[in-house]
Amino acid sequence: MNQIKTTFLLTCLTLLLVAMGSAIGGQSGMLIAFVLAGGMNFFSYWYSDKIVLKMYKAREVSETESPAFHAMVRRLAIQADMPMPKVYIIPSDSPNAFATGRNPQHAAVAATEGIMRILSEEELEGVMAHELAHVQNRDTLISTIAATFAGAISMLGSMLQWGAILGGGRSDEEEGGGGLLGSLALAIIAPLAAMLIQMAVSRSREYLADAAGAKICGKPLALARALDKLQQAATSRPMAEATPSTSHMFIVNPLAGGALRNLFATHPPMAERIARLQALAGGAR
């Protein structure tokens, strides 16, 4: 169902992009915005592992330095039928983890010092299985596609907004009342809708990674316990270094939530994630 939902949401982004292209008078503006957004996000996709790991001061650890952690990741990679990813430790007390890399052959998993301290071995195994599931499901690619479409729609919105303000649009009489005001409304609403769809794509991939991670490690309840602990700890100790542009990568949101957090959240409600994992455990009996 989450795969179907992702496909539907990406289709919505495509249709929204086409509508925006038509609104500004043809395909040329849409093509320019799409190429610009695609170029920026392609760079991010290709170099995301290096960029994000450097941003969080992650340090690659060898098997000699962290034998137990390496052995755990290697065992999970074998169970997932994936190449062994690079293993990193982030010098942060805030408990969290993420995976990055453009494909399973160029992947890395990173865990904070904080998560290593508060989770049991089984719980940490569940978390790392979740991260490997992101790599297995090529979520970096999915996120990049969604970001490219949303970015192009945002650029088209700006073009449409300035065109309407500077008199580039047709009059209200010519378009039956939908000229200037209609263009301004579309310029504001479409980018907001694109952002909401992009967030929904992120949430659907988290559900999918929870389910796939539980299958990889075979311990859905251990992952559920880990998520509960991480949510409580992340709320009391949000990650100071985290940025909104990378928050979707972590297993739990590293930022403190706001009043509209459910609508604009990159992660699904924690209670729902835990309930689904508990249901998986019940169905496996």
Cα–Cα distances (Å) from 160 to 13, 36, 75, 105, 157, in that order, read 17, 16, 52, 41, 5
Distance CA 153, CA 44 (A): 18
Distance CA 12, CA 18 (A): 10
Beta strand spans in the chain (E): 59-60, 86-90, 97-100, 108-112
The pLDDT of residue 33 is: 64
DSSP 3-state assignment of 202? Answer: helix
The pLDDT of residue 174 is: 44
Q: What is the pLDDT along the chain (285 residues), one digit of tens a residue?
A: 656 777 777 778 777 777 776 666 556 666 766 676 667 667 766 776 788 899 999 999 999 999 999 999 999 999 999 999 999 999 999 999 999 988 899 899 999 999 999 999 999 999 999 999 999 998 877 887 777 777 777 777 777 777 666 665 444 444 444 556 766 777 788 888 888 888 888 899 999 999 999 999 999 999 999 999 999 988 888 888 888 778 888 999 888 654 445 556 889 999 999 999 999 998 655
Q: Which of 131, 173, 206, 272 is catalytic?
A: 131
Distance CA 269, CA 260 (A): 12
Catalytic: 131?
yes
The pLDDT of residue 163 is: 66
